[in-house]
Amino acid sequence: MKRYTAPKKRRRWWLLVIPALLIAALIPFLPQRYYTAEELGITEVHSEFDADGDGLADDQDLVWGARAYIATDPHYASKYYAGGYPDDGLGVCTDVIWQAFRSAGYELKDLVDADIQENRDAYPFIPTPDGNIDFRRVSTLDTFFRRHAQVLTCSLENPEDWQGGDIVIFGDRDHIAICSDRRNRDGIPFIIHHGNPIEDAVERNQMHRMEVTGHFRWVG
């Protein structure tokens, strides 16, 4: 008599894997719960300066300006522009910064260009200044802010050390972002940034995604 062999069950692991991959791909785009400093009992610190005279402190303008810029949905692409400013709906992480500063009443390009020209030794990595691109490099902005902004802790241990409008450098001058006035449940600010071609420009709970190596506060 022929021995009965039960039919093999088809492996249906892929029925679980595919949805999991889809969910993982959608996570960066899902809404995130955020908290205000007031809700968390965190003291907000505002700048005493209001460069554009609109009634909002500089730090508030920086947040508003960064948020307004990413709302234009710029797509990530690194290009060189005559005149320096992107005019085609494309951009990189540094464009969030100068756009935010412009909304606060500062032309960051002019400030950076002048500092490079007057202090060449402070920028040894720029052999020949180029106003069309220097202000859009993270290394340049890191140096500029270390010279002209308040340098703060890189530790995330105390949320009150971090305020909306603060500027953050990540990695080996790999990335730059602006702190939001929105926070996660632990009190750490969301960041407003343009990180990569997949996510485009976002305001999200992503401070922990890379090592923080620079933390600055603009004081006018």
Question: Could you list the residue range(s) of the whole structural domain that residue 89 is in?
Answer: 33-217
pLDDT per residue as tens digits for the range 138-148: 999 999 999 99
Residue 109 resides in a domain = yes
pLDDT per residue as tens digits for the range 49-101: 999 999 999 999 999 999 999 999 999 999 999 999 999 999 999 999 999 99
CATH number at residue 148: 3.90.1720
Residue 19 resides in a domain = no
Q: Which amino acid is at 79?
A: K
Question: How would residue 200 be classed by pLDDT, with cut points 50, 70 and 90?
Answer: confident
Q: What is the mean pLDDT of the chain?
A: 91
Residue 4 resides in a domain = no
Indicate left, alpha or beta for 67 from its phi (over 0: left) and psi (-120 to 50: alpha).
Answer: alpha
Residue 124 is predicted with a pLDDT of 98
H, E, C per residue of 25-91: HHHHHCCCCCECHHHHCCCCCCCCCCCCCCCCCHHHHHHHHHHHHHCCCCEECCCCCCCCCCCCCEE
Residue 186 resides in a domain = yes
Number of structural domains the chain divides into: 1
What does residue 55 show for φ and ψ, rounded to 5 degrees? 90, -5
The C-alpha atoms of residue 195 and residue 186 are separated, in whole angstroms, by 23
Residue 195 is predicted with a pLDDT of 85
pLDDT per residue as tens digits for the range 148-185: 999 999 999 999 999 999 999 999 999 999 999 999 99
pLDDT per residue as tens digits for the range 34-49: 999 999 999 999 999 9
Q: Is the pLDDT of residue 25 over 50?
A: no
Q: Is the pLDDT of residue 125 over 70?
A: yes
